[in-house]
Structure 1
Amino acid sequence: MSKLGIKYFFPKLVVLNQNGLLGIFPWWWGGISLFIIGLWFLRERTYNWELCLILAGGVSNLLDRFLWGGVVDFPIFGFLPAFNLADLMIDLGIILILFKGFSKNL
């Protein structure tokens, strides 16, 4: 089922986030962040998989912005902000980079 289908049949399950991170930052920060991470990906070979996760999630969110006018999020848990699979990929990539960075220093 497409995102628009979910929005049509289950309007309470979909949130259109037209801002940036957690609805706080402007939307264009995502494009700048992707550009910087892309440059880092070209230079740094240590974090290939982690940066691929971050870039894939970021590109997915940018495509949502162009296609739907905002990122389509799903508020699954009432106590957490709404998120989607792309956000999960970005978070996982960041966590893996931090873990790998800290484990190198041990």
Structure 2
Amino acid sequence: MSSAPLSLKRLGWALAAIVFVADQISKFLILDLFSSGPQAVQVWSFFNLVMAWNPGVSFGMFGAIGAWGPWILVAITAIISVVLAVWLGRAENRLTAVSLGLILGGAVGNIIDRVRFGAVVDFLDVHVMGYHWPAFNVADSAITVGAVFLILESLFYSSEKPKTDT
């Protein structure tokens, strides 16, 4: 596999940096808001800001794996992040670079939380028609969107290069 064009690498890394910074700033603001304030802030009838510590992964899975849990999750996420960074270095199209940038920025944002706090700061709380989605954050959103983009790419875009007649 060849190296990605520099512009694709830059795009992916720039997006990862933007996601990471947005995630960390939003968590800083939420921690400040809820440090001595309300338990929840209703933004719209279906959307609240809350403060929730998530010791696990998405939707609280693996949250009860013990004292070493956060460090195990840090190690696993760090390894996956390295693999994704290598993949980004070899990205052959814009959608792959964008997808990997979103996932990397979100993954690193959540790694930082686990190292600093032993859990991830979740604060976006959505509830519609009686269904209440587990709280999540900017990093989780970026990871989800990036993963959906990768799935769509694998379903609808061919990675094969057209053959040329010689």
TM-score grouping bracket, smaller chain normalisation: 0.7 to 0.9
Q: How does 1:12-31 map to 2 (within 5 A)?
A: 12=40, 13-25=50-62, 26=69, 27-28=73-74, 29-31=76-78
- Higher mean C-alpha deviation, range 35-44 or range 83-92: 35-44
Change (3 A) 1:56 1:92: same
Is residue 57–residue 85 contact of structure 1 (8 Å, CA) maintained in 2? Answer: yes
Equivalent residue pairs, number: 105
Is residue 30–residue 123 contact of structure 2 (8 Å, CA) maintained in 1? Answer: no
TM-score norm. by structure 2 comes to 0.55
Residue 9 of structure 2 corresponds to which residue in structure 1?
Answer: none
Q: How does 1:1-106 map to 2 (within 5 A)?
A: 2-8=29-35, 9-12=37-40, 13-25=50-62, 26=69, 27-28=73-74, 29-46=76-93, 47-78=96-127, 79-105=132-158
RMSD of aligned Cα (Å): 2.0
Is residue 51–residue 121 contact of structure 2 (8 Å, CA) maintained in 1? Answer: yes
Encode CA deviations 1:51-70: one digit per residue, 9 max, x unaligned.
Answer: 10111111111122223331
Is residue 6–residue 14 contact of structure 1 (8 Å, CA) maintained in 2? Answer: no
Equivalent-residue separation in structure 2 for 1:67 and 1:3 (angstroms): 15
Change (3 A) 1:2 1:68: farther
**Larger radius of gyration between Structure 1 and Structure 2:** 2
Equivalent-residue separation in structure 2 for 1:31 and 1:21 (angstroms): 16
- Higher mean C-alpha deviation, range 53-62 or range 65-74: 65-74
Equivalent-residue separation in structure 2 for 1:81 and 1:52 (angstroms): 24
Structure 1: tracts of 5 or more residues without a match: none
Structure 2: tracts of 5 or more residues without a match: 1-27, 41-49, 63-68, 159-166
Equivalent-residue separation in structure 2 for 1:7 and 1:38 (angstroms): 34
Is residue 54–residue 91 contact of structure 1 (8 Å, CA) maintained in 2? Answer: yes
Greater helix fraction, Structure 1 or Structure 2: 1
Is residue 14–residue 74 contact of structure 1 (8 Å, CA) maintained in 2? Answer: yes
